[in-house]
Amino acid sequence: MNPIKVFSTLLIITAVTQAASAKRPNIIFFINDDQVKEEMGCYGGKVLTPNLDRLAREGMRFDNAHTVSTVCTPSRYSMFTGRYPGNSSFKSYLAAYPKDRHGVPGFNVGLEDDNMNVGNVLRQAGYVTGHVGKLHVGVHLKTAQEYAHHGLYDVSKQSGLLEPDNPNVIAGWQRNEKWYRQWIMDRGFSWAKHVYWGNVQGAYPHHNPEWTLEAALEFIEQNRDGPFYLHYATTMMHGGPHGWSRSLEKPLSSGAGKLESRPNVIPLRDELCRRVDEAGLEENTYGFTWMDATVGAMLNKLDQLKIADNTLFVFVTDHGTEGKFSLHDHNGTAIPCIIRWPGVVKAGSVCSNLVQNTDLVPTFFDVAGATIPQGYRVDGKSVQPILTDPKAEIHDHLYFELGYARGIRTDHWKYIAIRYSADRLDQIKNASLRKLPDLLAYQGGSKNASNHLQRRPHYLQPDQLYNLNDDPLEQNNLAGVPEHQAQLKTMQRLLTEKLKAQGRPFGEFVPGADSVPVEKIMPHLKKLEQLRPIKRGFEAIEDSPDNTKPLTRSERKAARDARKANTGRKSLTN
């Protein structure tokens, strides 16, 4: 063959390959923790977030984005897979809740061994896929026995050493972090580094966004020729101001023990706090500016490498704050979301249509041209049509789930149903009055149930219907109002369709062996009226009609002292 023709053919093949690669964008999926829209400048918040504001100016802001579940693990599971958490086939979840039984998705789901997740599918499609930061969808690691089972250094609350300067402690944490990396790569990711297994804890209970950012910038630099997928999950803003304010003075604390030096990837923390002060903003907003600086560092890296135009950048939060452990919109399922993709997404555009975090993984598959493996279940829908037309509609309703609760939302209505399994009902029947709130809470126990009941007395009602146009804070339950029965039935029909597709029993919606009729739970909800929700728990209400109002803290202390004194007098007379 003519050498010139061979050379020309190779040039053409190379050009075509490069052109095909250029059409497939790099993807950065930036997942924040515990943040609501009002805590970002671009959503009108009184905070200093110049880089997120820039992202919104150069991309699309989503005003009606939601998470499927309002606690970390099930939400993050959906952002790894595109599935509802209740469809997880994680071994320990199925062992506890077989598929023919009522599901209770929460902190018990995780990435499966079959590698049906975004990192593996995109890797098979030719992407280099990396994970940095918080995982929280792995095997259960809480007890000394569980750490020992996996050959890990024990950092459990029961026996883990809280000595951050101890060389043995540092070495143990370093060894664990490398095991975490390998676990993620065994699930199909190409690369992982600077991993937190869950929330910050133990000897190093401090946020260090510089440490996670350092690994992210390394990954972007190494894979600048693309295409790459970066699953970046910061631990910020978990725990609120209390959680991150104590971290500001701990720059060497990390998920791999104590560092030798501070990663030099963003301005000094003192400098960021000074900028907030100069802007006339509150000290309790320092953390938002600190996290925002890591977004800016990534954007600057993309600009420096001249790959910003071919990078799809998604910023989202796993769930809200005070709405955690509920299926309510406000600061719960409603989350901030921004997507930038220069040349595709119109700068400064806004989408007001329904989208959900389950939609992001199928979007990544879509834009990457990935082939979805046979047997891979996807529950979300690609938002790619919205990226070029913010008025495009991909959902007329969304589905939510958490513990014993399920929900449906349309543009203007929200419906929440709470149904318990037969096993749970048995526990409720045998519970003391003091233990009852723990068991009736559909997720999060009595502490979280009390917080929500103080805001919404109907929080645990089996059926809840809200008109979001008139009642955006969901204060007025319309489920029992006659004129809204048609709307209630419409929402219940939509929920039934979702539940049937999932294939598990759920009350009367999908009857099964462990379904429980609503009327069987009502006496126990009535019994709950004997308790008053207070901060972090409940207290008994005395029979006197004078005790119908919540007691102040001093009044509660006085009542406890009086009971103790009375008990003491009785013992002396016996």
What is the tens place of the pLDDT at every residue in 417-469? Answer: 999 999 999 999 999 999 999 999 999 899 999 999 999 999 999 999 999 99
Neighbours of 484 (CB within 10 A): 17
pLDDT, average across residues 348-367: 98
pLDDT of res. 365: 98
Of 493, 355, 472, nearest to 412 by C-alpha is: 472
Answer whether 172's CB lies under 8 Å from 163's CB. Answer: no
Q: Is 185 left (phi over 0), alpha (psi -120 to 50) or beta?
A: alpha
Reported confidence tier of residue 560, pLDDT bands at 50, 70, 90 = low
Of 376, 504, 531, nearest to 438 by C-alpha is: 531
pTM above threshold 0.75: yes
8-state DSSP, 547: G
What is the tens place of the pLDDT at every residue in 148-206? Answer: 999 999 998 777 788 999 999 999 999 999 999 999 999 999 999 999 999 999 999 99
Question: How far is it, in rounded angstroms, from Cα 236 to Cα 118?
Answer: 23
3-state secondary structure of 225: coil
Q: How far apart are the first and last CA of the chain?
A: 112
Q: Where are the alpha helices (DSSP H) in 68-166?
A: 72-81, 91-96, 118-124, 144-149
Reported confidence tier of residue 128, pLDDT bands at 50, 70, 90 = very high
Look at the domain 25-395 and name its fold: Alkaline Phosphatase, subunit A (3.40.720)
Reported confidence tier of residue 557, pLDDT bands at 50, 70, 90 = low
Tokens for 344, please give them. Answer: 């595709």
Burial (Cβ within 10 Å: 0-12, 13-18, ≥19) of residue 219? buried
- pLDDT surpasses 60 at 271: yes
pLDDT, average across residues 409-417: 98
- pLDDT surpasses 70 at 390: yes
3-state secondary structure of 399: strand
What is the tens place of the pLDDT at every residue in 538-549? Answer: 999 874 344 445
What is the tens place of the pLDDT at every residue in 496-553? Answer: 999 999 999 999 999 999 999 999 999 999 999 999 998 888 999 874 344 445 555 5
**Residue ranges per domain, the chain?**
25-395, 404-556
pLDDT, average across residues 334-361: 98
Of 72 and 2, more confident: 72
Answer whether 428's CB lies under 8 Å from 439's CB. Answer: yes
pLDDT of res. 437: 93
pLDDT, average across residues 18-23: 48
Neighbours of 161 (CB within 10 A): 14
Residue 191 vs residues 221, 228, 301: alpha-carbon distances, Å: 13, 11, 19
CATH class, domain 404-556, is alpha beta
| Nearest-10 crossing angle of helices 286-304, 209-222 | 10
Reported confidence tier of residue 10, pLDDT bands at 50, 70, 90 = very low
Answer whether 315's CB lies under 8 Å from 49's CB. Answer: no
pLDDT of res. 7: 41
- pLDDT surpasses 80 at 360: yes
pLDDT, average across residues 49-74: 98
- pLDDT surpasses 90 at 562: no
pLDDT, average across residues 122-132: 98
Strands 413-418 and 463-467: antiparallel
Of 574 and 66, more confident: 66
Question: How far is it, in rounded angstroms, from Cα 409 to Cα 420?
Answer: 21
Question: How far is it, in rounded angstroms, from Cα 294 to Cα 436?
Answer: 44
Reported confidence tier of residue 573, pLDDT bands at 50, 70, 90 = very low
pLDDT, average across residues 481-505: 97
Neighbours of 468 (CB within 10 A): 16
Radius of gyration (C-alpha) of the chain in whole angstroms? 26
- pLDDT surpasses 90 at 395: yes
pLDDT of res. 451: 92
Of all residues in the chain, the percent with pLDDT exceeding 90 is: 86
Question: How far is it, in rounded angstroms, from Cα 49 to Cα 275?
Answer: 11
pLDDT of res. 299: 98
**Domain 25-395 shares a fold with domain 404-556:** no
